Amino acid sequence: MLSRVAERLYWSARYLERVENTARLVSVYDDLLFDLPKNIEVSWYNLIEILSGEELFEQRYKVKDERNVVKFLLADDTNFNSMLSSLKMVKENIRTTRDAVPRETWELINELDLYAQQNIKQGINRSGRHDFLNTIIEGCQKIIGLFAGAMRRDSGWHFLIMGRYLERADMGTRILDAAVSLMLQSEPEARIQLGQVTWSKVLKSQSAYLDYRRTVRTSINGAKATTFLMNDLCFPRSLAYCLGQIGEAATKLPRAGLITAQVDKLLEFDYPINSSEDLDEDFHNHLNDIQIAIIEINHQITENWFHFRQGDAA
Amino acid sequence: MEKLTSHYQSADFFDELIDDKGTARSPAKQLLGYLDSLSEDELEKRRLTAEATIQEMGISFTVYTEEGNIDRAWPFDIVPRTIEASDWKIAEAGLKQRLTALNLFINDLYHDQNVIKDGIIPEHIIKDSKNFRPECVGVSPAYGVWAHICGTDLVRDENGDFFVLEDNLRVPSGVSYMLENRAITKRVLPELFENESILPVDSYTSQLFDTLASLSPRDIENPEIVVLTPGIYNSAYFEHAFLAQQMGAELVEGSDLFVDSDDCVYMKTIDGPERVDVIYRRIDDLFIDPEAFDPESVLGVAGLMRAWRAGNVALANAPGAGVADDKVVYAYVPAIIRYYLNEEPILNNVETFLCDDPEQRAYVLANLDKLVVKPANESGGYGMLVGPHSTKKEQALFAELITKNPRNYIAQPTLRLSTAPTLISKGVLEPRHLDLRPFILQAKDTYVTTGGLTRVAMKKGSLVVNSSQGGGSKDTWIVETKGQ
């Protein structure tokens, strides 16, 4: 497989996952606002912080309100991480690797991109937002489903897997971090009230609610939800699962050593969370370290397979 | 209910589907009968289906504009153009004959140049040709074939006879649209495919694959074949990707390849370098190798010509094949056919005046308002003068251009291009001019597409069919009607 094609497949998967996760994130916040007691203030601006978009946001907007935040995350074309920008990147990457993915991929991504562009107003206005975001998430899943059902498990597939799960691990830890920050910011007496709602939304945002119920079998609290989302080996959106997928995909490719070593190191790391008190500043720093390690894995993937060194030649 | 075709009239032109008495020609009978049976609304529904299909399939081409490159949906008319299979057989034989002769001619030019020595074509025509490549002299590509893929433009005159308008031997495009047009039409008019004998077109990509594979310099079972594209901003990128995908070949850009010290071409893969055997290049000669040609070019691969000359990689089309693409050479093709094959040309050329010849030039200069003037080596319909539609000022400009550089211009009478019914607005069929670009493959064997790409001038009365100039297209049906 061409290094360039491998790189573009990897990035199409990352951007596709980013589209889905951005939609999930906005959706869960939207939902959260309906359920929170009136006296608790939740700022939409948290979302900008989760996604490290403060600087760019503040260049563009004066008011940190819902409309601006949602617009920035979904529609803004100066924000290269916005949903529409990410979709455009999926499209561009697929466009240049159409010969390496199932034929229908191109049609599906076009459909999704057209839909998103034509209906973006629905996403920005609260009334149509839920349906809009749902359709976007479904559109992403359709493409992932097509890959799963129609693609050979060759190198291209492994690069898609690495891209998808790296992005998912990145976003997953950001969402956890957001919830932790939200809790830390609130008054201790509000935390109990807030915790129930927040953590069940976090689980729902990851489609993890039912699996949590079935496997953890206790009421929802921060420590248990976080443990599930970090450590569960079978749930496809947990950090451990994502890292496992990256490591496994890497071993199917040549010269995987550095990447698998890095992944194994991360997987071995055990951060004990016994009660919700443990979700403190230290834990926040721990998540930060994981984020840095994820960035490092991305860097190694790039070096290992995408930057061709002519010295390797015959 | 009034019939769709009842008011249709194609004035003084040969209409592909309906004769001058208003009767459907035999290959179009079932088609027109069927279209007449549809209500206006139903027909409109089909048109919208086509539009949606094109959008969904992402069939597009890129147009260069001042505001940047725009990716446009492929302009398509749902009414197919029909040709009788027995008529097509003749055109097909003519095309095979023409390409066989042209390849013998190109090979001769880069070796002994007997065609010049024997006085068939004047030496200075070749010497001054922009597309003659001295770098290619003495190279012997497999089977003596240089132009492996050719798109020859055919038109029909007022009597319905086929004429060759031009040969495109450099990097002809359009074949993917031919295939996609058929795919769309199958979705839009599925009923007709059940009852009619419409010859299939979809073997092209496997023929192309076989043609390319037969060029491999290494005698191995699975030669590495790649399609070399200038990248996504090229107007034909859609096609490059389409062909690579359909052939299961790697779609590469210049930066994916390199030539090593062993003069072999390699591609950069995740496993390390992998040897490349055949390159179907969709980049013009002068950009394929910065080492041999334009050092500024970033599209190509340094050392590619070295590898090709050493016989370590096959290039399709071979560099230098474009020498026969020259519109001045075009004028000599009938003579070329007689010279190499000792046969009469099956397909005629359009009458052509060479501005290089003083007598013919005088005629051209005196009749600029009636003629079409074309530069010898442009493509895409650029730099032309269409006499009857031109202003005095434009004619004066061309008079000057021709006088300054007569070798670079030819002129042809304005053609009375055939027309076909085209759906212009809801329920309205009007005649529009069209041409046809069949594709001819040649290596060990010769193959001609079933029909080709029909391009339509969408503006009323216009003769310009190029998609870069706002033309559209139609599916082309070769229909068997005899012996039923």
Does the CB of B483 have a partner CB in chain A at under 8 Å? no
Which residue type sits at B332?
Y
For B173, counting Cβ atoms within 10 Å of its Cβ (0-12 exposed, 13-18 middle, 19+ buried), the class is: buried
* Mean pLDDT on B232-248: 88
Which among A106, A115, A152, A312 is the top mutation candidate for probing chain B, defined by the most B β-carbons within 10 Å of its own β-carbon?
A106
Q: What's the token pair of residue A1?
A: 């497989």
Q: What is the pLDDT of residues B312-323, one digit of tens each?
A: 999 999 999 999
Closest residue in B to A112 (Cα) is: B56
* Mean pLDDT on A82-104: 90
Beta strands B60-65; B225-228: pairing state: unpaired
Does the CB of B351 have a partner CB in chain A at under 8 Å? no
In this model, does residue A42 exceed pLDDT 90?
Answer: no
* Mean pLDDT on B168-175: 92
* Mean pLDDT on B126-144: 92
Burial pattern A275-287, b for ≥16 Cβ within 10 A else e, equals ebeebeeebeebb
* Mean pLDDT on B164-183: 93
Q: What's the token pair of residue A211?
A: 């699996």
Task: Report pLDDT for A34.
Answer: 78
Q: How confident is the model at residue A314 (pLDDT cuts 50, 70, 90)?
A: very low
Task: Report pLDDT for B67.
Answer: 58
Does the CB of A152 have a partner CB in chain B at under 8 Å? no
- The position carrying tokens 């819902």 is A66
Task: Report pLDDT for B1.
Answer: 54
Which residue type sits at B153?
D
Instruction: Please name the residues between 58 and 97 in chain B that touch chain A, using a CB distance below 8 Å.
Output: 58
d(CA A113, CA A142): 13
**Are A310 and B269 an interchain contact pair (Cβ–Cβ within 8 Å)?**
no
- Give contacts of A1 with chain B, Cβ < 8 Å: 269-271
CB-CB neighbours of B394 under 10 Å = 16
Task: Report pLDDT for A32.
Answer: 80
- Give contacts of B252 with chain A, Cβ < 8 Å: 2
Identify the three-state secondary structure at position B257.
Answer: strand
In this model, does residue B181 exceed pLDDT 90?
Answer: yes
Identify the three-state secondary structure at position B170.
Answer: coil
- The set of residues, in sequence order, having a beta carbon less than 8 Å from that of B399 and lying 6+ positions away, is B365, B368
Among B56, B249, B268, the residue with its CB nearest the CB of A3 is B268
In this model, does residue B66 exceed pLDDT 60?
Answer: no
d(CA B105, CA B340): 8
Question: How many CB pairs below 8 A link A and B?
Answer: 73
Does the CB of A314 have a partner CB in chain B at under 8 Å? yes
For A204, counting Cβ atoms within 10 Å of its Cβ (0-12 exposed, 13-18 middle, 19+ buried), the class is: middle
Min CA distance, B54 vs chain A (Å)? 10
Is residue A54 within 8 A of residue A48, CB to CB? The reply is: yes
In this model, does residue A29 exceed pLDDT 80?
Answer: yes
Q: How confident is the model at residue B297 (pLDDT cuts 50, 70, 90)?
A: confident
B61 bridge partner residues: B72
Task: Report pLDDT for B176.
Answer: 93
Q: How confident is the model at residue A271 (pLDDT cuts 50, 70, 90)?
A: confident
Task: Report pLDDT for B442.
Answer: 97
Q: What is the pLDDT of residues A239-263, one digit of tens each?
A: 999 999 999 999 999 989 889 999 9
Higher model confidence: residue A290 or residue B7? A290
- Secondary structure (H, E, C), A91-150: HHHHHCCHHHCCCHHHHHHHHHHHHHHHHHHHHHCHHHHHHHHHHHHHHHHHHHHHHHHH
Task: Report pLDDT for A219.
Answer: 87
Task: Report pLDDT for B65.
Answer: 60
- Give percent of chain B with pLDDT exceeding 70: 95
In this model, does residue B69 exceed pLDDT 80?
Answer: no
Instruction: Please name the residues between 228 and 247 in chain B that touch chain A, using a CB distance below 8 Å.
Output: 231-232, 241-242, 244-245
Does the CB of B269 have a partner CB in chain A at under 8 Å? yes
CB-CB neighbours of A30 under 10 Å = 17
Q: How confident is the model at residue A313 (pLDDT cuts 50, 70, 90)?
A: very low
Query: Mean of the per-residue pLDDT values for chain B?
Result: 91
Is residue B392 within 8 A of residue B407, CB to CB? The reply is: no
Task: Report pLDDT for B413.
Answer: 92
Does the CB of A92 have a partner CB in chain B at under 8 Å? yes
Element (H, E) at B468: none
Q: How confident is the model at residue B177 (pLDDT cuts 50, 70, 90)?
A: very high
* Mean pLDDT on B209-231: 96
Name the phi and psi angles at B453, rounded to 5.
-95, 120
Does the CB of B219 have a partner CB in chain A at under 8 Å? no
Closest residue in A to B234 (Cα) is: A96
Is residue B100 within 8 A of residue B341, CB to CB? The reply is: yes
* Mean pLDDT on B88-117: 97
Higher model confidence: residue B463 or residue B88? B88
CB-CB neighbours of A260 under 10 Å = 15
Min CA distance, B149 vs chain A (Å)? 21
Taking CA atoms, B52 is separated from A115, A143, B61, B78, B176, in Å, by: 13, 19, 16, 12, 18
Q: Which of B129-138, B238-247, B434-443 has the highest mean pLDDT?
A: B434-443
- Give contacts of A254 with chain B, Cβ < 8 Å: 270-272
Residue A91 CA to its chain's centroid (Å): 18
Closest residue in B to A1 (Cα) is: B269
* Mean pLDDT on B203-209: 96
Residue B349 CA to its chain's centroid (Å): 16
Does the CB of B11 have a partner CB in chain A at under 8 Å? no
Does the CB of B266 have a partner CB in chain A at under 8 Å? yes
Q: How confident is the model at residue B353 (pLDDT cuts 50, 70, 90)?
A: very high
For A36, counting Cβ atoms within 10 Å of its Cβ (0-12 exposed, 13-18 middle, 19+ buried), the class is: middle
- Give contacts of A3 with chain B, Cβ < 8 Å: 256, 268-270
d(CA B286, CA A39): 71
- Give contacts of B267 with chain A, Cβ < 8 Å: 2
